A and B are shown apart, each in its own frame.
Chain A
Amino acid sequence: MSLKNSAKTSLKNAMILLFIGFLVLPIFWIFTMSFKQFVDIIAYPPKFLFSPTIENYKQVFASEFPRFLLNSIIITGGAIVIGAIAGVPAAYALAQANWRKKEDLAFTFLSFRFAPEFAVILPLFAIYQTLHLYDTYIGMILVHELIVLPLIIWICRGFFSDVPGAINEAAIIDGATHWQRLRYVYIPIASPGLVSAGIIAFISSWNNLLFGLVLSGKSTQPVTMGILQSMTFNQIKWGEMAASASVAAIPGIIFAVYLQKYLVRGITIGAIKE
């Protein structure tokens, strides 16, 4: 019995390893490519042993790439800040209010996530030109609210709903207003969830391509545009491309390790009662 079980477990683990391998090896491959010299990169059959170099990273950081990185940080960071300021109280309101149309309103916020972005972006292209918002940080930050705000509201509302009613009641008895309850009760208690909302929103914004593709120009191109451009030249600079891809992937990798526990709960919280 025990032998059969341990054989089953080994088989299970082997299959898990296979899937994990499929998911991780491509990243690993590009990561190693970023440390290869050009001759090693184009060598065929592919070289697995090579003498590493940091030349690719040097080239990348000497190019425009740091500017793209900075742009992404400003745009996404700004979007998260505004998204938090507008979204957290809104999420609280949606969790607490007794309005008749509350669920419809909540769903309307969510439905922005389901629209093809281009439907808003194309008209915005013309509108931004008129308003002189094209290729500006403010313009980009505002557009990113389209993804960030619904996410923050959806996830934070879920975590706020999870706060035990008894604590809310106690605070009301103590005479606390909504603002006070938000600040002293709900935000502290729901803080792990709020952090996960922020991270999910950050990643969604950081990874976005279309907004930058259409509405950014020389001054505000995000890192996703930088990566895209490195693929379209006639002679692809493989090493630099691998290095810039590795750098662009870093936030995702860091958050994956940190976020794992909260990621699922953040996604399911708005929809599934547990």
Chain B
Amino acid sequence: MSKQRKNDERALKVMIAPALVLLLGALVPFMRGVWTSLTNSKLYSSQSNSFIWFENYRAMFANSIFLQGLRVLIIFVVSVLIIQFILGITIAHLLNTKTQFTKISRSILVIPLLIPPVVASLLWKTLMWPTDGVLNWMLSLVNLGPYQWLTSPTTALFSTMIIDTWIYLPFVTIILLSGLQSVSQDQIEAAKLDGANSWQIFKYVSLPWLVPYIFLAGLFRGADAIKTFDVIYSTTRGGPIDSTRVLHIQAYEEGFRWANAGSAMAIVLFLWFVVYAFSNTVIRFSKLRDNRGLVS
């Protein structure tokens, strides 16, 4: 290789260096966090800082609030994924035509996704106000009793799912729509000529093309749902009575309400592990089904 080529190849390394430095910089607090999870350190004082191995983790798994939070998290993640994918593919199918109406709709569609989740939570908290909110007013018009929405342990989680869906359904929809638009028109025409109905066309022609998009949307949405924080912190803070106390919230509270840095890190590292396992599984699974897969 000529000297000039060698210098040029080095240029690539120079180009990537700053980004590497910045992101490796993030590993420092992370490593420190891992260390902290193995101690009993408190947040504001540097006393009582002894190494206690996996005691935090053992206590965590024995803690009923943690287990409740895990249960709540699983219900939340599975539910929002199902709801958002079913609605998402429906709307994507509806928008899969080239009209002025659908074009405008597609622009408006993404607005909830782009405003701060805090703002979205505020919006819905207002609408869901149990005493004189708009939603309960609408229910009263059809003689349905006032719904407790975010204020009751039995309804709070479901209410946060509605908010999460309002924000992120556009995300799933635009990705699935992009998938639908990538389906080969020739294959659809051929299927129509063979006498297939809409459902059969969807199942045997469109769906295979959609698979990588489903995996992509599922990967991002699943990982984000597991890490849910903003919506719940802005609406219920985990209540009422632990009914929405997902793990990311618990980690925050353990750290900043109870100042238990060690156990807080244990919770969030467990959460990190869950997201890691989830994303690895999805990516690996996507490679099995489809040669293209995600992330090549």
Give the B-binding residues of A (Cβ under 8 A).
12-13, 15-16, 19-20, 22-24, 26-27, 29-30, 33, 42, 44-46, 82, 85-87, 89-90, 92-94, 96-97, 103, 105-127, 142, 145-146, 149-150, 153, 177-179, 182, 203, 206-207, 209-210, 213-214, 223-224, 227-228, 230-231, 238, 241-242, 245, 248-249, 251-253, 255-257, 259-260, 263-265, 267-268, 270-274
Candidates A23, A124, A223; contact of B109 at CB < 8 Å: A23
* Contact across chains for B15 and A89 when beta carbons are under 8 A apart: yes
User: Are A92 and B15 touching (Cβ within 8 A)?
Assistant: yes
Are A214 and B265 closer than 8 Å at their CB atoms?
no
Minimum distance in angstroms from B263 CB to a CB of chain A? 11
| Residue from B18, B26, B174, B296 within 8 A of A146 (CB atoms) | B26
A228 to B234, Cβ gap below 8 A? yes
The size class of the interface chain B forms with chain A is 35 or more
Residues of A within 8 A of B52 (CB): none
Q: List 28 A-B contacts (CB under 8 A).
A: A12-B97, A13-B101, A16-B95, A16-B102, A19-B109, A24-B111, A26-B123, A26-B127, A89-B16, A90-B15, A92-B12, A109-B23, A112-B26, A114-B223, A115-B30, A116-B248, A116-B272, A119-B268, A120-B29, A145-B23, A146-B23, A153-B19, A231-B122, A251-B114, A252-B111, A252-B116, A256-B110, A267-B171
Checking A93, A117, A209 against B233 with a beta-carbon cut-off of 8 angstroms, the contacting residue is A209
Q: For chain B residues 243-294, which have a beta carbon within 8 Å of chain A?
A: 248, 251-252, 255-256, 261, 264-265, 268-269, 271-272, 275-276, 279, 292, 294
| A210 adjacent to B123 (CB under 8 Å) | no
- Complex: chain A residue closest to B19, CB-CB: A90
Minimum C-beta distance from B34 to chain A (A) = 9
Cβ contacts under 8 Å, A150 to chain B:
23
Nearest chain A CB to B235 CB, angstrom units: 9
- Asked if A30 and B123 sit within 8 Å, CB to CB, the answer is yes
CB distance from B171 to the nearest CB of A (A): 8
Q: Is B43 touching A126 in the complex (CB atoms < 8 A)?
A: yes
Contacts of A126 in B (CB 8 A): 32, 43, 261
**Are A107's CB and B295's CB within 8 A?**
yes
Total of A-B residue pairs, C-beta within 8 Å: 267
Residue of B nearest to A177 (CB): B8
Contact in complex: A209, B229 (CB < 8 Å): yes
A122–B295 CB distance below 8 A? no
Whether the Cβ atoms of A207 and B117 lie closer than 8 Å is yes
Are A260 and B110 in touch, CB under 8 angstroms?
Answer: yes
Complex alpha-carbon distance, A115 and B294, angstroms: 18
A257 to chain B, nearest CB (A): 5
Is the Cβ of A256 less than 8 Å from the Cβ of B114?
A: yes
* Given A209-B230, A227-B118, A268-B178: A273 touches B292 (CB 8 Å cut-off): yes
- A253 and B111: CB pair below 8 A? yes
- Chain B stretch 82-114: residues in CB contact (< 8 A) with chain A: 87, 91, 94-95, 97, 101-102, 105-114
Known contacts A23-B169, A90-B19, A248-B115, A264 near B233 by CB under 8 Å: no
- Which listed residue (A26, A30, A214, A257) contacts B166, Cβ 8 A? A26
Q: How far is the CA of A59 from the CA of B193 in the complex (A)?
A: 65
Q: Evaluate contact between A93 and B16: CB separation under 8 angstroms.
A: yes
Mostly helix, strand, loop or mixed at chain A's interface?
A: helix
Q: Is the pair B119, A248 in contact by a Cβ cutoff of 8 Å?
A: yes
Please tell me if B56 contacts chain A, counting CB pairs below 8 Å: no
- Please tell me if the beta carbons of A114 and B279 are within 8 angstroms of each other in the complex: yes
Nearest chain A CB to B264 CB, angstrom units: 6
Q: Which residues of A contact B94 (CB under 8 A)?
A: 12, 15-16, 19
Q: Are A209 and B216 in contact (CB under 8 A)?
A: no
Knowing A23-B108, A86-B22, say if A123 contacts B36 (CB, 8 Å).
Answer: yes
Within 8 Å CB of A255, what residues of B? 114
User: Which single residue of chain A is at the shortest CB-CB distance from B292?
Assistant: A273
Contacts of A271 in B (CB 8 A): 212, 216, 294-295
Q: Contact between B114 and A177 (Cβ–Cβ < 8 Å)?
A: no
Interface assignment of B149: CB less than 8 Å from any CB of chain A = no
Given known contacts A94-B16, A120-B26, A29 and B134 CB-to-CB distance under 8 angstroms: yes
Q: How far is the CB of A27 from chain B (nearest CB, A)?
A: 7
**At the interface, yes or no: B170 with Cβ under 8 Å from chain A?**
yes
Across the interface, B16 reaches (CB within 8 A) one of A90, A146, A264, namely A90
Alpha-carbon distance between A214 and B261 when the two chains are bound, in angstroms: 13
Contact of A231 among B134, B216, B234, B275 (CB under 8 A): B234
4 closest A-B pairs by beta carbon, nearest first, are A252-B114, A89-B15, A90-B19, A123-B29
B160 to chain A, nearest CB (A): 15
- Asked if B13 CB lies within 8 Å of chain A CBs, one says yes
- Report whether A16 and B30 are in contact in the complex, using a CB–CB cutoff of 8 Å: no
Contacts of B43 in A (CB 8 A): 125-126
Please tell me which one of the listed residues B14, B106, B116 contacts residue A209 in the complex, with CB atoms under 8 A apart: B116
> With A93-B13, A122-B261 given, is the CB distance from A16 to B19 under 8 Å?
no
A151 to B57, CA, bound (A): 32
Nearest to A258 among chain B residues (CB) is: B107
Are the C-beta atoms of A123 and B30 separated by less than 8 Å? yes
